A = this chain, B = another copy of it.
């Protein structure tokens, strides 16, 4: 996945070139601290070894085929997750060989595209929560003479997609097992709303429920001689619960690799931050106006980062606070008027997933120099 940069120039299609200093990178730009990134990669590998579970890294967060490959090759991941067929297409074409669309795919055109993907040599898995959907998946796989692996999604408390009781899960699993061109792969059980429950006790209560619901379904299926190869779920905020449950065997963490300001608020049992994941993703921004006393305006607005989960914080500058972000501007409180025009700051985004989707490139930095550029392969792939 080497990229030829010769036709690019900073500021046009690309924010930087390898070998540049941080000061030369065009702003706003997504910066990856490669030392912190490597640390997080290895830390998660250690975690899954410790717990004795697999990790299917979630790529909806970074949308980069290069990073997915590193998660598999160096991070111990068994494969990847994504959320959309067009993401799976982008990853499969870039050589990722084991891809779960951890989501329902219902549109006939999208199902047709999904059913073609195994032809690229990739193992393709998808979730379902509906009987008619299972029939559609089968018809499309038959049309292309491929096989799709299907997980039944449980609503384990998130209140979004998934069947709401074990009997319904059993009915769907039995349907998959008797439907040609489909293989029953197990259960998908992700408690999304628990990920950002900041307090440990609150998170534990949600996960206790999620694990009970999941265990009930696994047990009911087992009593009908149906084995779940995969019992998958978990995110960065919750994975120690699923990993230690004895019920789940595959984690699906994504944000651990970059972290963001919102995940920094999630506390362990002892009241500490999430174990040992470092902030690896930053938004580099420049100061562009300082006329108003006590504040400075930077060039990173809503088109460069997402504020849906709260405002960014400023790296190593507790004296500066985020005030207001509009389409193209960010206003920072700078009581001491310390900032000058063209000063640069590294922001820690409030929410990494939708922020990454706004950018075409990651700028990988080590020791103050640009070491690599990774395209955001599946940027905008929401079909």
A→B interface (CB under 8 Å): 10-12, 15, 26-28, 60, 83-86, 89, 103-110, 113, 129-130, 132-133, 155, 159-164, 168, 192, 286-292, 295, 297, 299, 301-304, 306-308, 325-329, 331, 341-342, 351, 353-354, 357-360, 379-380, 382-383
Contacts and interface: CB of A to CB of B under 8 A. Distances in A.
Nearest to A133: B341
Contact of A289 (B104, B109, B303): B104
A26 B109 contact: yes
A383 B15 contact: yes
A353 B108 CA distance: 31
Q: Assembly of this chain: how many copies?
A: 2
23 contacts: A10-B109, A11-B110, A15-B383, A26-B383, A83-B327, A103-B328, A107-B288, A129-B291, A130-B290, A130-B291, A130-B341, A132-B341, A155-B291, A160-B292, A160-B326, A161-B297, A161-B329, A162-B291, A192-B326, A302-B351, A307-B308, A308-B308, A328-B382
B84 A328 contact: yes
Contact of A159 (B286, B292, B327): B292
Given A159-B292, A353-B327, A360 B380 contact: yes
B161 A107 contact: no
Given A12-B86, A160-B329, A303-B357, 14 more contacts: A26-B109, A26-B383, A27-B107, A28-B382, A60-B328, A83-B327, A107-B286, A155-B291, A160-B289, A161-B289, A161-B291, A161-B329, A303-B354, A303-B380
Nearest to A357: B303
Contacts of A12: 86, 89, 383
Contacts of A379: 380
A161 to B, nearest CB: 4
Contact of A357 (B105, B107, B161, B358): B358
